[in-house]
Structure 1
């Protein structure tokens, strides 16, 4: 529950703030920040280097391990920022946006700041202390968000987004150092580094491939299309990713340490995995299908008519990202058993196919690129399931059969919502009516067919 509170309170506030700022700045200004996404994400992947997962997976971790990771993170962060600083003019030249030189150098400071809090966040994850994480994240988000809104209102445009980002990182570091009673020892162990890197390096390469893939869309659109179209894609992707990614991450942060503790109890591990999977898609599927149906009304009400071209993109992306729990949870199953070699092989195969789909869809426009994302999601599930089957006694077919009733219930809900939207053409009423009809039709289906996830979630809420 605290994992959910931390994720949705912070992401929820960030989501609301992004809507407020989006109403105050132009789509092209949002597009400038979005263009840097791939460079910042790659830089952040190098800073982590898979060490966070390695520390969680290692059962006999020591204080020397934590200190070794801490110093390595800072060293890598400084090196990566140096590369970003030097590369800034070339990034601006690539996009034909001169302002990106200064923006890149300032936003890149986030990479250095984040290196000072990675170990603190990892310790909180190991101890499942999401309450402390919530306090730190909320304080940082509220104050940095206020800075961003004020600057956007004063007309600072893209620099309002830069200031919000830097403020959030700095305050997060400050709060975690205050709340987490840990300071690094004056020691760096080569043996510890080698052991952690042996596991983490494979996750680093796999993570880099995934990061490049996720952000390559913005880079490609920014290169072949206008910054306004980048803004439309970025906003539609933000709306589509919000429920699926956040719910998946909430569960994953609890699931991964829990499954790692059950490495030697395979039957219990598998049963726990399926409980997590079904409970997650029970929430994700209806949310994503509901958003796909309501995309036009939602964007018009929240972002005004100037953002309406993003609605059709958002509908496609919602269906693509609804499969996120299956893709991510199965990938983590490999890491639970320490098989980061298999997770790396899976990523190489998946991303090779992903790059092929992306580049073949470019000539057909942004909508085709979004449809390509949906096609990739299906291939991702098939590929990762092949590797999971090597070490676990189940496959994708069993997982799909388990969640099939939830998928049918979600599609039934979406059909009811689509029909209800014909009652009015006023966006705010369409949004309200569609939401109410969606909630009641889904709950009616769950009650009628007695879906066990419905009862399971009710029990969790009662226990809290």
Structure 2
């Protein structure tokens, strides 16, 4: 019996969806809400990057990056994998949901205390006194996030993602306004701290009201073992994955200082911030749907294939435009005084695209309650990342950025095959899917890069538009020449129509 089945064995089973239409329409509606609201939030985040890059220097970003690279792991422990357990389980009683809330709250409170205690230790580790105050100021956000995790999970479980996304959109708008204002007042890195506090505070106030329920007292009679067991497995997986993903920033801050980390951080955050408004929401939606298809392998694989296309093409083509016109992108988004970021920007763009290809494997592990298999794969991938980064660090800060690309290049096909073996699903077509996305996007990127090389000296914003046109024209030619590309675009068009259909 899987962990999910055990979690629901003592509660009545809900009616199974009749056919694919009901679930498909609900998922498509949720996906449409995700696209609209996350598109607005991405615009706000990009506005935030553009504005603050002109008000703050590399050291300000480096100081905050030193803290978040380490204490960001608290976001895993404050959730304890229980949001995923709540979404993944077939049934969840109100008593179980309340118990999960109390556990998340206790974890958030403990992590807030730990954050305050370790603040001076982090300052000593980085040889940067400012880190202590920043760490202590950020610590209360762990408690606020822990107290709303189950409200967010409840809305996602019910595919009511639009409500949670509206709260996130409001938080992003307020964070932009207050961050820009305090940065203009000369608060330096404290402006970034203000943004983090506002981003946590708005959901803390709003989500309990929107979700419409309050937790009961903790009830020991509720069956919690399966949920907690799955959560513990997810914590191990997420912790290892987080440390592996942030080791580059930790080492760069320790070895090369706040200034260099600030440059690297700008490249990573400029690209990852908008992607992190898109990928996690698509992943949560994908998990919610795939978890409901646990008994239908054929429909699961069909959904995974389309989900991979929906993630892969938009991310890779966008990252391709960044690679092709990196100096112009940096000039427009960050300003000319940040042009030293360009080499990092190109490498990070490729790394983010490759990382996206492997995300579908995580949907399989999580929806099928394969926590142990997921942890084993994550440990393997962490070793690969660790070795790559340690080797890269010997060649300087840019070597670390090259390692950022090398490890996902090796790992993304392994992740899909490993998840297929663990789940019994035939994931080889997903590998071919990924290779095709990679090849098509690489061809379009090369065409855009060549086109940009033909128009030197033009204003940066014009070069960005040239890169976008180059990507579009290349995709149009590939669509005309290759039937498989036409099939991919038809699938994407079908999904888009479903998302925006009312």
Q: TM-score range by the shorter chain?
A: over 0.9
Q: Aligned pair 1:381/2:412, yes or no?
A: yes
**Among 19, 27, 39, which residue is 2:58 paired with?**
27
Q: Displacement, 1:94?
A: 1.1
Aligned to 2:67: 36
How far apart are the structure 2 equivalents of 1:430 and 1:236? 19
Q: Aligned pair 1:425/2:460, yes or no?
A: no
Report if aligned partners of 1:245, 1:324 keep a CA contact under 8 Å in 2: no
The 3-state SS of whatever aligns with 2:225 is helix
Report if aligned partners of 1:37, 1:218 keep a CA contact under 8 Å in 2: no
Q: Displacement, 1:454?
A: 1.5
How far apart are the structure 2 equivalents of 1:23 and 1:256? 38
Q: Aligned pair 1:461/2:461, yes or no?
A: no
Aligned to 1:301: 332
How many aligned residue pairs are there? Answer: 463
Structure-2 change in CA distance of 1:404 and 1:351 (3 Å): closer
Q: Displacement, 1:43?
A: 0.9
Q: Displacement, 1:246?
A: 4.2
**Among 18, 35, 47, which residue is 1:4 paired with?**
35
Q: Aligned pair 1:394/2:426, yes or no?
A: yes
Q: Displacement, 1:243?
A: 5.5
- Relative to the length of structure 2, the TM-score reads 0.88
Aligned to 1:406: 437
Q: Displacement, 1:2?
A: 1.0
- In structure 2, stretches of 5+ residues that fail to align are 1-31
Please, what is the CA RMSD of the aligned residues? 1.8
How far apart are the structure 2 equivalents of 1:139 and 1:387? 37
Aligned to 1:366: 397
Which segment is superposed worse, 98-107 or 242-251? 242-251
Q: Aligned pair 1:344/2:375, yes or no?
A: yes
Aligned to 2:302: 271
**Among 308, 311, 328, which residue is 2:359 paired with?**
328
Report if aligned partners of 1:279, 1:453 keep a CA contact under 8 Å in 2: no
How far apart are the structure 1 equivalents of 2:209 and 2:65? 32
How far apart are the structure 1 equivalents of 2:221 and 2:265? 42
**Among 482, 488, 500, which residue is 1:449 paired with?**
482
Which segment is superposed worse, 201-210 or 212-221? 212-221
- Relative to the length of structure 1, the TM-score reads 0.95
Aligned to 1:46: 77
Q: Displacement, 1:205?
A: 0.5
Structure-2 change in CA distance of 1:381 and 1:243 (3 Å): same
Instruction: Provide Cα deviations, 1:381-421, integer angstroms capped at 9, x if missing partner.
Output: 2442234224334244x323234443333222212211221
The 3-state SS of whatever aligns with 2:223 is helix
Aligned to 2:194: 163
Structure-2 change in CA distance of 1:190 and 1:315 (3 Å): farther
How far apart are the structure 2 equivalents of 1:239 and 1:443? 28
Aligned to 1:100: 131
Report if aligned partners of 2:41, 2:277 keep a CA contact under 8 Å in 1: no
Aligned to 2:286: 255
How far apart are the structure 1 equivalents of 2:193 and 2:310? 37
The 3-state SS of whatever aligns with 1:267 is helix
How far apart are the structure 2 equivalents of 1:301 and 1:201? 44
Report if aligned partners of 1:53, 1:200 keep a CA contact under 8 Å in 2: yes
Moved over 6 A (4+): none
Matches for 1:52-67 after TM superposition, within 5 Å: 52-67=83-98
Report if aligned partners of 1:243, 1:288 keep a CA contact under 8 Å in 2: no
How far apart are the structure 2 equivalents of 1:428 and 1:254? 34
**Among 259, 265, 269, which residue is 1:234 paired with?**
265
- In structure 1, stretches of 5+ residues that fail to align are none
How far apart are the structure 1 equivalents of 2:65 and 2:258? 9
Q: Aligned pair 1:117/2:148, yes or no?
A: yes
The 3-state SS of whatever aligns with 1:192 is coil
Instruction: Provide Cα deviations, 1:132-151, integer angstroms capped at 9, x if missing partner.
Output: 11221122221222111111
Q: Displacement, 1:175?
A: 1.7
**Among 310, 315, 324, which residue is 2:341 paired with?**
310
The 3-state SS of whatever aligns with 1:206 is helix
Q: Aligned pair 1:319/2:350, yes or no?
A: yes
Which segment is superposed worse, 413-422 or 66-75? 413-422
